[in-house]
Amino acid sequence: MIEVQNDPEVKIKELGLSLPQAPKPVASYIPTMIVGNLLYTSGTLPMKDGKVAYLGKMGEENNSIEVGQEACKLAVLNSLSAVKETIGSLSKIKRIVKVTAFVNSANGFTDQSKVVNGASDLLVKVFGEEKGKHVRSALGIAELPLNALVEIEFIYELN
Amino acid sequence: MIEVQNDPEVKIKELGLSLPQAPKPVASYIPTMIVGNLLYTSGTLPMKDGKVAYLGKMGEENNSIEVGQEACKLAVLNSLSAVKETIGSLSKIKRIVKVTAFVNSANGFTDQSKVVNGASDLLVKVFGEEKGKHVRSALGIAELPLNALVEIEFIYELN
Amino acid sequence: MIEVQNDPEVKIKELGLSLPQAPKPVASYIPTMIVGNLLYTSGTLPMKDGKVAYLGKMGEENNSIEVGQEACKLAVLNSLSAVKETIGSLSKIKRIVKVTAFVNSANGFTDQSKVVNGASDLLVKVFGEEKGKHVRSALGIAELPLNALVEIEFIYELN
């Protein structure tokens, strides 16, 4: 019973969320790489149905803090989907180690931390305080591939 | 005696510097994360007395190279303060592994390397040549949280 | 025979490429750092004969996608040269773990992925599919040291 409550995939459902389709491996790079007990991810975009779902820069009119946070949450879910595809179950994640978040930022936008809370808070909700807390960097990047609103790298520790 | 001379905390005092108050853990992320013998830090801002002490972009009139270097030094001290808070003593640091420095840069500013020398040189002064030398990246970022002048990530190896 | 065919240094020659002179260690930071079986590199610029060979931003007229890809290839070769200088032979590389590529980007340039394929594809050509595939991030950075067109960090796993 306790095990079920602690299952991150159950928790994702309880939060009314779901894992998107795992990103397909492309030619020369791959979504995840395991070295020892660490799993590194590629920079992850907020993809939905094979498209970037959040575009443009923070600081532009249509991209409120809430929209930026939703983009971060979707990037987290894409990352977790890739991890599940690789290791079979999210319950094999021991801890979230590091989140490096690049927020596409218009000139003068300095609320990257609030935006990236969308990612950090979701990880803590899904994995709990002890496993979910992580180090992170929130950065305001000039441009991102496909004009994505955010790109996030993750390091996970595996059991 | 030799041990005292090699103590990084003694060295910091000898350099006329001091560790600022350790950053307080925030809701969903934490200042440091130990995995195996590596300690990862969150992106660290040049904080003093709870505020960002260096603001704006390099390339703006008031932010000379020297000011940028001071900002980097202060970010290093904040990072070391967080490490001390986590592991009790800086003498438990075996080596500085990696410094990733994001320098808030106005259009056309390309002297990020000189700015980040403020961080690299201080680490070598405090830890000595052998322990202090590290790999690093110096990058010119578009925007940073709270309009900080620099944000720096560190990886330390522990004894 | 098979060993020779799989030798990455032979492969580099077969591709008509060569390793540039290894970057010289500078005062306070170094080109490579080995921790356990991982080798981290400093942010690597597309250097040739001691100078940055590719300047400016993607999105500017003279910097086509092909030029950006060449810059990435040269950064890879510089990185491999530094690795060879450190460990003696590229055949000691077990896998390419991670490529973090910062592409100097003019406002509105969003084809960082295509540019960074220059790095990823070369690594797979030199090391083969199994060893060469890696996780990566492609990012559009506002400014880079010395106005370099790209700066790339690598993590290699060693045998």
Answer yes or no: do A141 and C140 touch at CB < 8 A.
yes
pLDDT higher than 80, residue C49? yes
Cα C84 to chain centroid, rounded: 13
- Separation between Cα atoms, residue A131 and residue A18, nearest integer Å: 20
Q: What does the pLDDT read at residue C23?
A: 76
**What residue in B sits closest to C27 (Cα-Cα)?**
B121
- The fold adopted by the segment(s) B2-158 is 60s Ribosomal Protein L30; Chain: A; (3.30.1330)
Rg of chain A over CA atoms, in angstroms? 15
Rg of chain C over CA atoms, in angstroms? 15
Per-domain residue ranges of chain B: 2-158
pTM: 0.96
pLDDT higher than 70, residue B1? no
* Mean pLDDT (whole number) for B92-113: 98
pLDDT higher than 60, residue A5? no
Residues of B in contact with A98 (CB under 8 A): 33, 40
* Mean pLDDT (whole number) for C66-75: 98
- How far is CA B72 from each of CA B44, B92, B119, B148, rounded to the nearest angstrom? 10, 22, 5, 11
What distance in Å separates residue A42's CA from the closest CA in chain C? 5
- What lies within 8 Å, CB to CB, of A14 at 6+ separation is none
- Separation between Cα atoms, residue C68 and residue C46, nearest integer Å: 10
Of B28, B33, B153, the CB nearest to A120: B28
